[in-house]
């Protein structure tokens, strides 16, 4: 792969934070908050997953492959797929992982989108993610976001770790 090819690959640069279980009604009342119910399934081979997401615009299915570049940056190749394709991909679900169910609140703030992921297996905490344009970009945190600690570098809080059957 040439340096030119690498520069053209879609990058995901994000930081992740552990937060106390939020007041969902309060967050939903924030301007431009969108709510999505998601099911994410990891596929055999480890690099790919499929996601079904139901939100304000209806239902969408996506196929995503990620490749780590650094602790903050990944190449993310994501494409929308039909529900039929989604069902076909589910046949290749990795049995070492359970599907992850979550509710995601997407809330814009100061040029960023904060994504709050609420998982049904936690009643005391949630995870907030924010995508950045550069690894060293400064984040202005909203007053409604109470952060316990950053978990960007903690593998226990990656979705793939939460999905692993122990």
pLDDT digits (tens, 9 = 90+) for 77-88: 999 999 999 999
What whole-number distance in Å separates Cα of residue 3 and Cα of residue 7? 6
Question: Is residue 4 a part of any domain in this protein?
Answer: no
| Prediction pTM value | 0.91
What does the pLDDT look like over 55-94, one tens digit per residue? 999 999 999 999 999 989 999 999 999 999 999 999 999 9
Question: Is residue 48 a part of any domain in this protein?
Answer: yes
What does the pLDDT look like over 132-155, one tens digit per residue? 999 999 999 999 999 999 999 999
How much is the pLDDT for 166? 82
Q: What is the CATH number of the domain that holds 89?
A: 2.40.320.10
Residues of the domain holding 54: 11-163
Domain count, the chain: 1
What whole-number distance in Å separates Cα of residue 92 and Cα of residue 94? 6
- Going by pLDDT thresholds of 50, 70 and 90, the confidence category of residue 28 is very high
- Going by pLDDT thresholds of 50, 70 and 90, the confidence category of residue 7 is low
Question: Is residue 42 a part of any domain in this protein?
Answer: yes
Which residues have C-beta within 8 Å of that of residue 159, sequence separation ≥ 6? 40, 100
Question: Is residue 6 a part of any domain in this protein?
Answer: no
Question: Is residue 1 a part of any domain in this protein?
Answer: no
What does the pLDDT look like over 122-134, one tens digit per residue? 999 999 999 999 9
- Going by pLDDT thresholds of 50, 70 and 90, the confidence category of residue 47 is confident
Question: Is residue 5 a part of any domain in this protein?
Answer: no
Among residues 96, 118, 98, which one has the least CA distance to residue 106? 118
Cα 40 versus chain centre, distance: 9
């Amino acid at each position: 792969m040439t340096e030119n090819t690498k520069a053209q690959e879609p990058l995901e640069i994000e930081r992740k934070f552990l937060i106390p279980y939020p007041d969902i009604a309060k967050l939903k009342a924030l301007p431009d908050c969108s709510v999505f119910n998601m099911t994410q399934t990891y596929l055999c081979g480890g690099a790919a997953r499929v996601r079904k997401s139901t939100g304000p615009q209806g239902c969408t299915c996506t196929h995503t492959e990620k490749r780590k570049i650094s602790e903050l940056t990944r190449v993310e190749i994501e494409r929308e797929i039909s529900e039929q394709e989604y069902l076909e991909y589910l046949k290749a679900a990795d049995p070492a992982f359970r599907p992850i169910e979550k509710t995601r609140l997407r809330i814009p703030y100061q040029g960023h989108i904060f994504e709050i992921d609420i998982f049904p297996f936690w009643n005391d905490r949630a995870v907030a993610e924010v995508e950045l344009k550069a690894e060293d970009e400064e984040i202005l945190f909203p007053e409604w976001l109470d952060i316990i600690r950053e978990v960007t570098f903690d593998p226990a809080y990656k979705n793939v770790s939460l999905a692993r059957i122990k």
